[in-house]
Amino acid sequence: MSQATEKPVATAAESCDKATAAPQADDTSTGNGNLLTRDSSEAEASEEERDAQDIVADAERGDPKAQLEVAAMYWGGLDGFEPNPARAFEWAHRAAAQNFIEAYVFIGKCYCYGGPIEPNPKKAFEYFSKGAELGCPESQFLLARCYRNAEGVEQNTKLSLEWLRRSATNGNEQAQFRLGVIYMLGDPLLGLEGEMYEEAVEWFTKASESGIDLARFYLACCYLEGWGTPKDVVRATQMLAQLAEEGLDKAQNQLADCYASGKGVEKNHELAFRWHLKAAAQRHALSQVAVGKAYAAGVGVQRNVEDAIKWFEKAADKGEASAFAQLGQMYDGKHGIEANPDRVHHYLTQGALLGDPACSFGLGQLYELDQFGSVNHPRALEMYLKAAQAGHPLARIKVGVYYFEGLGVEADPKHGFEWFVRAAQTGYPPAQHNLALCYELGRGVERNIEQALQWYRKAAAGGSSDAMYTLGVIYERGEFVEQDLEQAFKFFADAADLGVPAAKVAFGKYLESGVFGEPDLEGAYNCYQDAAEDGEGAAFYRLALMHRDGRFIEKDLVKAKELLRKAQECGFEHAEVILAGLESGEPETV
């Protein structure tokens, strides 16, 4: 299986898949550093393999290809030859004297990588230049690297990109793959910002045809997300499955994510765990974190906290920042392990130093929630800001709240609103709900009901249960919009399904009244009961009325009074009036 060499970077490649460390766009190495690559397919097809003596004989007769093979044998100590760099150079130069372009690549690599000789970047550049000018795609690829990284020559990014494109156009699969990466992820030095997905797909396709597995992987990711090509999740998961079976850890990790989310395949947590485990066994750090999460939650595998910690530690040992946030959570006293604040602080601090926004956010919570002996809002804000600037949406909300409330900083509602905007623009539904509230109430911004409704709807569409409930209230009251009880009923039902206690009560009232059909007293009672278990005062009140009136359940004034008192304790004021009527023997009607 052929792979293009890559260097992992600290952050995951969000432009590809969030569980895959991306190759850096400036890594234009050939990967294995081999000085001469023999055409294995040609060798396999040949019926008569020449032995080393035949090759030497041909070299002596002036065959430049044989001369270069002899050079490789002397350089690497192959086929019974003792390593002898001087002899290797002699034979390589004989081939180069006949303008055998692979010889220029060989000599350039000798000077580039060193080994038996001292590296000499200027000499490497000289020979790569000769090979490139003669049309050698590999020399052109290596020359592009020299110009980009200022290896043996003054940096010239324009020439670097030019030679890289020439190499790719002439069929060098490494250059094709690298161009795909650059067009996808960008390269500031080359003046490319990335997200040029159509160009990326073009070059990944070419590199895939040449057998570069990572190109096939990134191409699959493009199909998965619809980047630069029509979205085709079925084709994407088929490609990922093939690569995963072949052993590519990144494909195993991505395929596992697809099974976990049901993207392109039927959701299957057991298969998700199995593929994450395969990738984790190959030291794929993000899969190691995923395996740890599965053990911690008991999803796809039996819960095992000790195994969870083991896998988180493996990922942390590799420097995976997100693993430290998980380790911190394991010692918060909620996972069957005795709480250890010092360990929590240690792990979160380590992760924050590595740039993990979740760890910075966690530290902010520790400082805000009095985990160090006293509340420290300035320090909490510092941590929240660090996480927010790294894109953590909930941290952006926290920073906004701090500016609205003047916690650890002078109150500045306008600045708080700006942070809510930044959080909402990422598509984070709770932030969109908060932004809608700002527009509705005129907090930090001029009141704008149209904008408020727009953001409420966006938040609800994204899954915000609070926004769903708010829209239910708006449509029920006909506030800002024409009254629409069907819409209100729908939003209350959706919010109730997501667990909003007030929405359960509102939905139950519709069922009890039978506005859209026959009353469903049992359904209403169950809604109120669920909401009462959440401590919702209005739910106790509605249950009390049903017990008082004997609706669905046997009339029981003692139980009704008990429920009304609970409603009072929860702050539901009207319960006092009904309770007073019951105790005086003159029940109030509703």
**C-alpha of 497 from chain center:** 28
Predicted confidence at residue 536, as pLDDT, reads: 96
Evaluate whether residue 589 is within a structural domain: yes
Q: Which amino acid is at 21?
A: A
Predicted confidence at residue 333, as pLDDT, reads: 87
Evaluate whether residue 536 is within a structural domain: yes
Predicted confidence at residue 24, as pLDDT, reads: 43
pTM: 0.75
In whole angstroms, give the CA distance from residue 240 to residue 249: 10
Q: Residue 22 phi/psi, 5° resolution?
A: -95, 155
In whole angstroms, give the CA distance from residue 342 to residue 347: 9
Evaluate whether residue 56 is within a structural domain: no
Evaluate whether residue 201 is within a structural domain: no
**Terminal alpha carbon distance of the chain:** 75
pLDDT exceeds cutoff 90 at 372: no
User: What is the per-residue pLDDT across 86-105, written as a single tens digit (0 to 9) for each?
Assistant: 899 999 999 999 999 999 99
User: What is the per-residue pLDDT across 118-158, written as a single tens digit (0 to 9) for each?
Assistant: 899 999 999 999 999 999 999 999 999 999 999 999 999 99
Evaluate whether residue 543 is within a structural domain: yes
Predicted confidence at residue 22, as pLDDT, reads: 38
- Lookup: tokens for 283: 């030291």
Within the chain, how many helices (H) and strands (E) appear? Answer: 31, 2
β pairing state of 21-23 and 8-12: antiparallel
Predicted confidence at residue 336, as pLDDT, reads: 86
User: What is the per-residue pLDDT across 264-312, written as a single tens digit (0 to 9) for each?
Assistant: 999 999 999 999 999 999 999 999 999 999 999 999 999 999 999 999 9
Predicted confidence at residue 47, as pLDDT, reads: 33
pLDDT exceeds cutoff 60 at 588: no
Counting the structural domains of the chain, the total is: 2
| Mean pLDDT computed over 44-66 | 77
The CATH number assigned to the domain holding 240 equals 1.25.40.10
Predicted confidence at residue 21, as pLDDT, reads: 35
For residue 373, what pLDDT band results from cuts at 50, 70 and 90? Answer: low
Average pLDDT over all residues of the chain: 89
- Which of 337, 355, 373 is the C-terminal boundary of a domain? 355
- At how many degrees (to 10) do helices 85-97 and 101-113 cross? 150
The closest of 60, 122, 117 to 85, measured between CA atoms, is 117
- Which of 338, 355, 372 is the C-terminal boundary of a domain? 355
In whole angstroms, give the CA distance from residue 532 to residue 577: 20
Q: Residue 21 phi/psi, 5° resolution?
A: -70, 130
Predicted confidence at residue 42, as pLDDT, reads: 43
Evaluate whether residue 490 is within a structural domain: no
**C-alpha of 255 from chain center:** 14
- Which of 320, 355, 390 is the C-terminal boundary of a domain? 355
Predicted confidence at residue 25, as pLDDT, reads: 41
Evaluate whether residue 137 is within a structural domain: no
Contact predicate 485/508, CB 8 Å: no
Predicted confidence at residue 49, as pLDDT, reads: 43
| Residue % of the chain over a pLDDT of 70 | 90
pLDDT exceeds cutoff 80 at 5: no
Contact predicate 548/557, CB 8 Å: yes
Predicted confidence at residue 28, as pLDDT, reads: 39
In whole angstroms, give the CA distance from residue 163 to residue 146: 10
Evaluate whether residue 363 is within a structural domain: no
What is the domain range of residue 583?
521-590
Secondary structure (3-state) at 58: helix
* pLDDT greater at residue 76 or residue 66: 66
User: What is the per-residue pLDDT across 541-585, written as a single tens digit (0 to 9) for each?
Assistant: 999 999 999 999 999 999 999 999 999 999 998 899 899 888 887
pLDDT exceeds cutoff 90 at 45: no
The closest of 83, 85, 103, 101 to 93, measured between CA atoms, is 103
| Mean pLDDT computed over 149-168 | 96
